[in-house]
Amino acid sequence: MPEPTRRAPSGAAALRADKTVAIAEAVLDELAEQGYGRLSMEAVAKRAGVGKSALYRRWPSKQHMIIAVVSELSVERLEAPDTGSLRGDVLALLRSVADWLTHPRFSRIFPDLIAEAHRDPALAEALARSVGEPRRARAVVVLDRAVGRGELPPDTDRETALDLLAALVYWHVSVRGVRPDADYLERTTETVLCALGARPAA
């Protein structure tokens, strides 16, 4: 039985989780207020109540830090929905996209990162690898299950289908800035199902 008073292991592994959480919150606050270009390591450290060395012990650069925090928010807590029908899964995916894009801070952060990515190819690549691809990998599971149930044709174009599952909500909410009304997600689910040529399960 471990001794309750023993000391934490020393060295690289001994990063305090509470500090990591405080830093992540500070990164999101600074990103929402200042944007990627103006965010400084100093301001994040000050806001989190830690020294700058606490940041550099965790991540080698500002870009690594931001990508890690944004990826955690965007990907880590997600699972592919499995409601038993394509309609239910599409509705759940669209709701998760809408929740993500209307998250109080993230609604400002994501469009700013996209704008910055047009000026910074390394950031664009990191965003695609750490946010875009994991989210797409999750959604493709839904499409594959629907093909298995006979709700989608086996030759369904996965690329177009994955674009559909994010594009409409992004354009509506993040580009046009429209607050979705009560049945927006239901209507958009119907549009996506029509576009995919979905049919009821066999």
> Which range touches a second copy (CB under 8 A), out of 9-17, 64-72, 83-91, 115-123?
115-123
191 near a second copy, judged by CB under 8 A: yes
179 near a second copy, judged by CB under 8 A: no
The radius of gyration of the chain's CA atoms, rounded to the nearest angstrom, is 20
Residues 6 or more apart whose CB falls under 8 angstroms from that of 52 comprise: 41, 42, 45
Q: Given the complex with a second copy, which of 7 and 176 has the nearer CB atom?
A: 176
186 near a second copy, judged by CB under 8 A: no
- Residue pair 142/127 in contact (Cβ under 8 Å)? The answer is no
Q: What beta strand segments (E) does 66-196 contain?
A: none
Instruction: Using the structure block, give the residue that is written with the tokens 């690549």.
Output: 125
Q: Which of residues 41-100 bind a second copy (CB under 8 A)?
A: none
111 near a second copy, judged by CB under 8 A: yes
Cα distances (Å, whole numbers) of residue 146 to 103, 169, 195: 29, 21, 14
Q: Contacting a second copy (CB under 8 A), which of 14, 15, 128, 201?
A: 128
Residues 6 or more apart whose CB falls under 8 angstroms from that of 164 comprise: 192, 195, 196
Q: Contacting a second copy (CB under 8 A), which of 66, 166, 185, 189?
A: 166
Which stretches of the chain bind a second copy, using CB under 8 A? 35, 37, 107-108, 111-112, 114-115, 117-119, 124, 128, 132, 157, 160, 163-164, 166-168, 170-172, 174-177, 187-188, 191-192, 194-197
